[in-house]
């Protein structure tokens, strides 16, 4: 996914987009239109969404977590919540995107100092302005006055922001 599309999502849009993506993968994997995914289908779905083939034990866990009474496989609703959880638990890129969009209240795809200030004012109202300014300068690697998703990602990746 490109930086522009990654950073351009608002929270609700992003959830809608993820849902759509999961639902469309579900449809593609449920070739016989059974209304659920079999064990083999789930494996294919994970390859399509995450780019790797899940191990036997991971597939077992997903099949168990996705099971509902009277259904031999994983129905759509279970699949969507399962994949959503997997995405936020395992993909640091997705995690970073979530945090970034919490800051990016105007959905501009970059952060200005005022976005930074207003977020900190909400979550840590006693933090001095000076500290917020220092944090901003620290994250703004190329010092252009905007924090891009890339600036942000670098900091998260190196663990300087621990959330």
Residue appearing with tokens 């795809």: 109
Shortest Å distance, C-beta 123 to Ca ion = 22
**Window 103-142: residues binding Ca ion (CB under 5 A):** 140, 142
Q: Contacting Ca ion (CB under 5 A), which of 151, 152, 153, 156? A: 151
**Window 28-57: residues binding Ca ion (CB under 5 A):** none
Cβ proximity of 41 and 53 under 8 Å: no
Nearest to Ca ion of 41, 151 (CB atom): 151
Stretch that binds Ca ion, among 23-31, 35-43, 93-101, 151-159 (CB under 5 A): 151-159
Which sign does the torsion angle of CA 11, 13, 18, 23 carry?
positive
Cβ proximity of 111 and 144 under 8 Å: no
Buried b (16+ CB within 10 A) or exposed e, 121-133: eeeeeeeeeeebe
Cα torsion through 12, 14, 15, 16, rounded to 10 = 80
Nearest to Ca ion of 30, 101 (CB atom): 101
Stretch that binds Ca ion, among 15-23, 24-32, 127-135, 144-152 (CB under 5 A): 144-152
Other C-beta atoms lying within 10 Å of the C-beta of residue 115: 18
Nearest to Ca ion of 55, 157 (CB atom): 157
Shortest Å distance, C-beta 95 to Ca ion = 21
d(CA 71, CA 94): 31
Binding of Ca ion by 144 (CB under 5 A): yes
Nearest to Ca ion of 13, 144 (CB atom): 144
By CB under 5 A, name the binding residues for Ca ion: 140, 142, 144, 146, 151
């Amino acid at each position: 996914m490109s930086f522009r599309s990654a950073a351009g999502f608002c929270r609700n849009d992003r959830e809608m987009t993820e849902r759509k993506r999961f639902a469309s993968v579900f449809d593609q994997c449920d070739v016989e239109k059974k209304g659920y995914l079999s064990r083999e289908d789930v494996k294919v779905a994970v390859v399509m969404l995450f780019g790797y083939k899940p191990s036997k034990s991971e597939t077992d866990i997903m099949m168990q977590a996705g099971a509902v009474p009277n259904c031999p496989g994983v129905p759509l609703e279970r699949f969507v919540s399962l994949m959503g959880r997997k995405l936020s638990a395992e993909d640091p890129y997705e995690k970073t995107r979530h945090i970034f969009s919490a800051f990016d209240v105007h959905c501009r795809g970059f952060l200005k100092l005022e976005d930074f200030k207003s977020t900190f004012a909400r979550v840590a109202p006693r933090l001095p302005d000076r500290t917020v300014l220092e944090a901003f300068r620290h994250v703004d690697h190329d010092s252009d006055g905007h924090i891009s998703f890339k600036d942000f990602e670098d900091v998260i990746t190196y663990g300087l922001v621990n959330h």
